[in-house]
Amino acid sequence: MGGLIKSSVAKKFAMALSGLFLVLFLGQHFVINFTSVISPDTFNELSHFMGTNFLVQALLQPILIFGVIFHFVMGFVLEIRNRNARAVNYVSYNGAANSSWMSRNMIWSGLAILAFLALHFYDFWVPELVHKYVQSHPEDATRYYGETIAKFESPVRTGLYVVAFVFLMLHLLHGFSSSFQSIGWNNKYSKGIRNFTVAYAIIIPLGFIFIALFHYINNL
Amino acid sequence: MKLTLKIWRQENANTKGKMVTYPIDGVEGDMSFLEMLDVLNEELINKGEEPVEFDHDCREGICGACSLQINGEPHGPDKLVTTCQLHMRSFKDGDTIVIEPFRAKAFPVVKDLIVDRSSFDRIQHAGGYISVNTSGNTIDANSIPINKHDADDAFAAATCIGCGACVAACKNASAMLFTSAKVSQYALLPQGQVEAADRVQEMVRQMDEEGFGNCSNTGACEIECPKGISLENIARMNREYMSANTKG
Amino acid sequence: MSVLDSKIPQGPLKDKWTKHKNDINLVNPANKRNIDVIIIGTGLAGGSAAATLAELGYNVKTFCYQDSPRRAHSIAAQGGINAAKNYQGDGDSNYRLFYDTVKGGDYRSREANVYRLAEVSGNIIDQCVAQGVPFAREYGGLLDNRSFGGVLVSRTFYAKGQTGQQLLLGAYSAMNRQINRGKIQAFNRHEMMDLVIVDGKARGIIARNMVTGEIERHSAHAVVLGSGGYGNVFFLSTNAMGSNVTAAWRAHRRGAYFANPCYTQIHPTCIPVSGEHQSKLTLMSESLRNDGRIWVPKKKEDSIAIREGRKKPTDLSEDERDYYLERRYPAFGNLVPRDVASRAAKERCDAGFGVNKTGEAVFLDFASAIERYGKEKAFTSGHKNPSKAEITKLGKEVVEAKYGNLFQMYQKIVDQNPYETPMMIYPAVHYTMGGLWVDYNLQTTIPGCYAAGEANFSDHGANRLGASALMQGLADGYFVLPYTIGDYLSKDIRTGAISTDSPEFEAAEKEVTERISRLMNASGQHSVDYYHKKLGKIMWNKCGMARNAKGLQEALEEIKELREDFWANVKVTGKTEGKNAELEKAGRVADFLELGELFAKDALHRNESCGGHFREEYQTEEGEALRDDENYKYVAAWEYKGNPRDAQLHKEELDFKNIELKTRSYK
């Protein structure tokens, strides 16, 4: 395995698999968040389940953390290799003639998402850890909704979230369909898959933006 | 028409290069891009200056020698053509044209616009063949029927001319389209199946050793490829590679 | 008795090669490891020879001026490769391929060589398929064939319009396998500057590293020249810009006889010249003549109207068109051999019927093919009553599938859509049948120096049939040379490595460096291209499609003067060290300036018309070539005597035992 992951193809393969995994996670995250718009109670229930279920906490959460870290570390590794592959840059480089902006700027959209993750962890995960393990509050299955909407009082934070989701959209617009190509999946179904990935890449981030704005406006 | 050319000049691999501006007049639409450079060179020679060196040979789009980055695109703005097939009617009077060599660490500059693409050769040496003796003592050509569709796909992959536009266009200077075209040609034919697993592993290993970048599926290579080699080949190579490795 | 010994084996024609293979000496595998072979050129002949010799166990060094062996100009061959497989069941056989080739060559080739070529042709296809060459196939999965000029069967195997590319990449892949094994050392961007003779045998070369400018010595037990033809002596040709005669000419100067230099093939279907700045001509494959019909207007005023843009070709009705090949040669029609088709086009244009601005172009029309294919396609896909528009649409699709890349190439260059309006074509220099004289073993008159492919003269006589060049290149490299060179090398098993420190290497290197410094230090009046273009004009006007004694005599003088002017006044910029394209070109043009003179001399001495050599003085009343078998049924092999015009003629009489000599007729 050590030798395998060294090769360029295997690196891309791993990058794609971790990306696909994160896309799945994103869908799941979105569904739960969206319940906060429809029904605070359902949101609380689901959040409580995710926050306390042993399997989720002991197994899925570490996998997710590993997936996120792997994806961005590998992203940097690849970016460095790719930059080194061209020692002297072009004076004139017309990338727009042959590729999309999204595909050429995955590192920047990725970095924006990474920065957002820092904010997001500071907003939710850190308080959650403090709540559970530092202050050792007793379990309270009804606190999640209130904590969540409280974050969207600030127009600055809401704005940052919206901007981050736009970057997420750009990242997904290329990354999702690209990962199928990387794992060697290019056949007669590819066009359908591509349409699906584009729809997904637009709808999910728009959905997150909607949720953020919904709570912000409700808070006004 | 009158044009302004900005051309990369570099004495040899060990010296630093720079862009030099040359005005040129009397360019006609029916000239090929290289014939326009011939005219410039004739002028430079008559002035006692050294002409601009560039790789070229067949001048009919098949040898793969010509390799200019023109206004930020390999082989210039037209699609499905090599530099030698690009004609000046694609430009207009007063245009400024920036001409650079194909850039990649694995393609070091030899002189001016000429680069060393021997890294491509070494990828081919590593496995770009079917290990059959050339003695002619093989079976009759028609004893292996090949599905027309597969034969056509193999042919489409085999039309790669090895010019390096894929590497030049790729923001990562990746050689995956080139490598995958050869892998695909043989993977699609029954004759190539026998050594398919070794071939893909060896060729990918060599490709990585040469210092090419990694594919990030921007698709620039496919768009700029003068022969329209499809990205499907890269997907096929990825598949072949992973299955070759998981089989052990 | 001639000094030339063609070493044709005794016995019946069809047993000669087998018998010869049984008779010649072999080198044992352990001894092959001690023998080095140099191969110049990595096209079909050189590349396939390199791969096969390395596979047999010899240590091979290949040299090519390109940056990779894969770029040799064989790659540009479009239409296909002949082989007497008779897969179509249309009556093909080795004999028929042999017969067609000898007849197509206007009875100026050696029977035994051509028969051997036909005999191994089938093997080539087997070999290439085994290597993974993706030939075109039918729906049943079997190989497809098309038809070419000068024959009545379909024996041409093809890969769309890129057959040469696919075959060359096949040979290159075989080379790669040997490079990977360390059996071939590939010296790319290296140009052979001279042949080194030690004790009367070819023992190595002097080469220039085109990147560093260093002059290098390389030794071997034998040297194979697979360096291609010399069509670029005309400046404008379908050859690659770098194609040159230097390797062959240097060998000629060292003692290899040069045979039939005047036999040049002018290919009928090339894109016409568009202007003064033109650097090369582009071929439109002969395969297009399978489906395209060639015509000019019947009336001169229509030609003039088309030239001036007042009329379009599509405005002319069938009655107003002159399908002159179909008219003159009803049996072969548009598929007459190349020399015949080219002359017919020239005849019409000279008579004032040319159709482009320069008056030097004829039409190649696909309208009826589009209609025919469209109907067939509509019918087979269940449309029993298709509309005209449907037929045209389907027909265009079929034509695109067959010739798509050629049509695209045409459109890029001419900026006209050949699906809508007929193509314009005109003959252009394409191939040279002449070359170094070789015996049956492909050995030149220098022991140990071999020539293969277009570089030798052997198989095509005075005119080559379409799709035969690829066949000959691969036959020589894969199947002939590997046997015959063993016979010679069997005497070298105890020789050991050849030293490059001998006085012969010393002297050859000195000559090369002196020649380079002469080129660099001329007075610097005119560029190399200036001289090359001038030479090309003389050659085209006086040694081209039609020649006469007066013109040839003038050419002899003009070329000599031009050569003297060149050596005194050429301007080569840059330095000898490092990459210098002007210096490379200068060396090549210097050799063309010598070859051109020999070319004219040969054309002047051959008082007959045959194949690609058409002397205006010798033609029938109908304007067909008039051969003189009584006096000129020989190969003219020229020995270098210090000045091209002083070359000494040696004749190899051609003996036709299996074919009756007839006037070629394609009517």
Q: What is the DSSP string of C629-663?
A: HHHH-EEEEEEP-SSGGGPEEEEEE---SSS----
C603 Cα to chain B: minimum distance (Å)? 28
User: Strand, helix or coil at B129?
Assistant: coil
- CB B38 within 8 Å of CB B31: no
Q: Which domains does chain B have, with CATH numbers?
A: 3-111 (3.10.20.30), 117-246 (1.10.1060.10)
**Residue A33 CB contacts under 8 Å (≥ 6 apart), including other chains:** A43, A208, A211
Does the distance separating the beta carbons of B205 and A7 come in below 8 Å?
Answer: yes
First to last CA, chain A: 54
- CB C241 within 8 Å of CB C234: no
Is the residue at C476 inside a domain?
Answer: no
Cα dihedral C257, C260, C261, C264 sign:
negative
For an interface test with C, the pick among B58, B78, B186 (most C C-beta atoms closer than 10 Å) comes out as B58
Q: What is the CA radius of gyration of chain C?
A: 25
Report how far residue A215's alpha carbon sits from residue A152's, in angstroms, rounded to the nearest whole number.
6
Query: Could you tell me if C416 and C512 lie in one domain?
Result: no
* pLDDT attached to residue A141: 87
Range of the domain at C522: 501-633
Hey, which chains touch B, using 3+ CB pairs under 8 Å?
A, C
Q: Nearest chain C Cα to B142, which residue?
A: C142
Report how far residue B9's alpha carbon sits from residue C191's, in angstroms, rounded to the nearest whole number.
24
Is the residue at C453 inside a domain?
Answer: no
* pLDDT attached to residue C150: 85
Report how far residue C24's alpha carbon sits from residue A47's, in angstroms, rounded to the nearest whole number.
89
- CB C572 within 8 Å of CB C266: no
ipTM topping 0.95: yes
Tokens representing C602?
Answer: 């040969």
Tokens representing B231?
Answer: 């990205």
> What CATH number corresponds to the domain at position C317?
3.90.700.10
Kindly give the parts of chain C with pLDDT less than 70: 1
Work out whether strand C222-225 and strand C449-451 pair parallel, antiparallel, or are unpaired. parallel
The DSSP code sequence of C595-624 is: HHHHHHHHHHH--S-BTTB-BTTSB-TTS-
Q: How far apart, in Å, are the Cα atoms of B156 and each of B159, B227, C164, C287, C304?
A: 5, 9, 15, 20, 43
Is the residue at C657 inside a domain?
Answer: no
* pLDDT attached to residue A3: 53
Query: Could you tell me if C403 and C276 lie in one domain?
Result: yes
A197 Cα to chain B: minimum distance (Å)? 15
Is the residue at C252 inside a domain?
Answer: no
User: Which residue type sits at A161?
Assistant: Y
* Residues of chain B found within 8 Å of residue C132, distances taken between Cβ atoms: 130, 154, 185-186, 189, 191-192
* pLDDT attached to residue A4: 55
Does the distance separating the beta carbons of B53 and C173 come in below 8 Å?
Answer: no
B11 touches chain C (CB under 8 A): yes
Query: Could you tell me if C537 and C424 lie in one domain?
Result: no
Q: Which of A22-26, A215-219, C383-387, C585-589 shows the lowest per-residue confidence on average (mean pLDDT)?
A: C383-387
Answer with the one of C429, C456, C486 that is the final residue of a domain: C429
**Residue C613 CB contacts under 8 Å (≥ 6 apart), including other chains:** C262, C263, C264, C462, C547, C603, C606
Kindly give the parts of chain B with pLDDT less than 50: none
pTM: 0.96
Report how far residue A37's alpha carbon sits from residue C157's, in angstroms, rounded to the nearest whole number.
69
Query: Could you tell me if C282 and C417 lie in one domain?
Result: yes
Residue C605 CB coordination number (10 Å): 13
Report how far residue C314's alpha carbon sits from residue C272's, in angstroms, rounded to the nearest whole number.
19
A10 touches chain B (CB under 8 A): yes
Query: Could you tell me if C524 and C416 lie in one domain?
Result: no
First to last CA, chain B: 61
> What CATH number corresponds to the domain at position C523?
1.20.58.100
Query: Could you tell me if C309 and C425 lie in one domain?
Result: yes
Hey, which chains touch A, using 3+ CB pairs under 8 Å?
B
pLDDT, tens digit (0-9, with 9 covering 90-100), for C69-113: 999 999 999 989 999 999 999 999 999 999 999 999 999 999 999
Strands, sheet with B3-9, edge to edge from the N-terminal-most edge strand: B18-24, B3-9, B96-101, B68-70, B73-74
Torsion over CA of A169, A174, A180 and A181, rounded to 10 degrees? 180
Query: Could you tell me if C591 and C507 lie in one domain?
Result: yes
* Residues of chain B found within 8 Å of residue C124, distances taken between Cβ atoms: 136
* Residues of chain B found within 8 Å of residue C123, distances taken between Cβ atoms: 136
Number of H-type helices and E-type strands within chain C: 19, 19
Q: What is the CA radius of gyration of chain A?
A: 19
Report how far residue C429's alpha carbon sits from residue C346's, in angstroms, rounded to the nearest whole number.
13
Nearest-by-Cβ selection for C279 from B35, B118, B135: B35
Nearest-by-Cβ selection for A89 from B71, B103, B213: B103
Angle subtended at Cα C10 by Cα C7 and Cα C14, rounded to the nearest 5 degrees? 110
- CB B29 within 8 Å of CB B89: yes
- CB B199 within 8 Å of CB B131: no
Q: Nearest chain B Cα to C189, which residue?
A: B116
Query: Could you tell me if C524 and C624 lie in one domain?
Result: yes
| Residues pairing with C652 in the sheet | C635
B46 touches chain C (CB under 8 A): yes
Is the residue at C493 inside a domain?
Answer: no
**Residue C499 CB contacts under 8 Å (≥ 6 apart), including other chains:** C219, C505
Does the distance separating the beta carbons of A86 and B214 come in below 8 Å?
Answer: no
Tokens representing B192?
Answer: 């190539």
B31 Cα to chain C: minimum distance (Å)? 7
Does the distance separating the beta carbons of C138 and B118 come in below 8 Å?
Answer: no
Nearest-by-Cβ selection for C578 from B12, B87, B139: B12
Report how far residue A59's alpha carbon sits from residue B22's, in angstroms, rounded to the nearest whole number.
66
Is the residue at C107 inside a domain?
Answer: no
Report how far residue C54's alpha carbon sits from residue C36's, in angstroms, rounded to the nearest whole number.
10
B29 Cα to chain C: minimum distance (Å)? 10
pLDDT band at A1 (very low <50, low <70, confident <90, very high): very low
- CB C214 within 8 Å of CB C229: no
**Residue B237 CB contacts under 8 Å (≥ 6 apart), including other chains:** A9, A184, B176, B179, B180, B183, B184, B200, B204
Burial A45-56 (b: 16+ CB within 10 A, else e): bbbbebbeeeee
Domain count, chain C: 2
User: Which residue type sits at C485?
Assistant: I
Does the distance separating the beta carbons of B214 and A82 come in below 8 Å?
Answer: yes
Report how far residue C651's alpha carbon sits from residue B96's, in angstroms, rounded to the nearest whole number.
60
Tokens representing C199?
Answer: 């004790």
May I ask the CATH class of domain A2-83+101-219?
Answer: mainly alpha
Q: Name all contacts of A153-157 with Cβ < 8 Å and 24+ positions apart.
A: A153/A216, A153/A219, A155/A216, A157/A119, A157/A123
**Residue C604 CB contacts under 8 Å (≥ 6 apart), including other chains:** C549, C552, C553, C556
* pLDDT attached to residue C128: 96
Residue A135 CB coordination number (10 Å): 9
C331 Cα to chain B: minimum distance (Å)? 31
Is the residue at C160 inside a domain?
Answer: no
- CB B104 within 8 Å of CB A86: yes
Is the residue at C628 inside a domain?
Answer: yes
pLDDT, tens digit (0-9, with 9 covering 90-100), for B71-98: 999 999 999 999 999 999 999 999 999 9
| Residues pairing with C296 in the sheet | C322
Stated length of chain B: 248
Stated length of chain A: 220
User: Strand, helix or coil at C190?
Assistant: strand
* pLDDT attached to residue A2: 47
Closest of C94, C363, C36, C351 to residue C217, by C-alpha: C36
Domain boundaries, chain A: 2-83+101-219
Q: What is the DSSP letter of C91?
A: S
Q: How far apart, in Å, are the Cα atoms of B200 and each of A184, B186, B193?
A: 14, 10, 11
Residue C192 CB coordination number (10 Å): 25
Angle subtended at Cα C25 by Cα C24 and Cα C31, rounded to the nearest 5 degrees? 155
Q: How far apart, in Å, are the Cα atoms of C132 and each of B76, B155, C85, C135, C662?
A: 33, 10, 19, 9, 41
Closest of C243, C242, C241 to residue C281, by C-alpha: C241
Does the distance separating the beta carbons of B132 and C70 come in below 8 Å?
Answer: no
Q: Is the pLDDT of residue A71 over 50?
A: yes
Q: Show which residues of C are catalytic.
A: 338
* pLDDT attached to residue B248: 56
Burial C125-149 (b: 16+ CB within 10 A, else e): bbbbbbbbbbbbbeeeebbbbbbbb
Report how far residue C340's alpha carbon sits from residue C329's, in angstroms, rounded to the nearest whole number.
10
Q: Nearest chain B Cα to C160, which residue?
A: B155
Share above pLDDT 90 across residues of chain A, in percent, rounded to a whole number: 85
Closest of B55, B56, B61 to residue B82, by C-alpha: B61
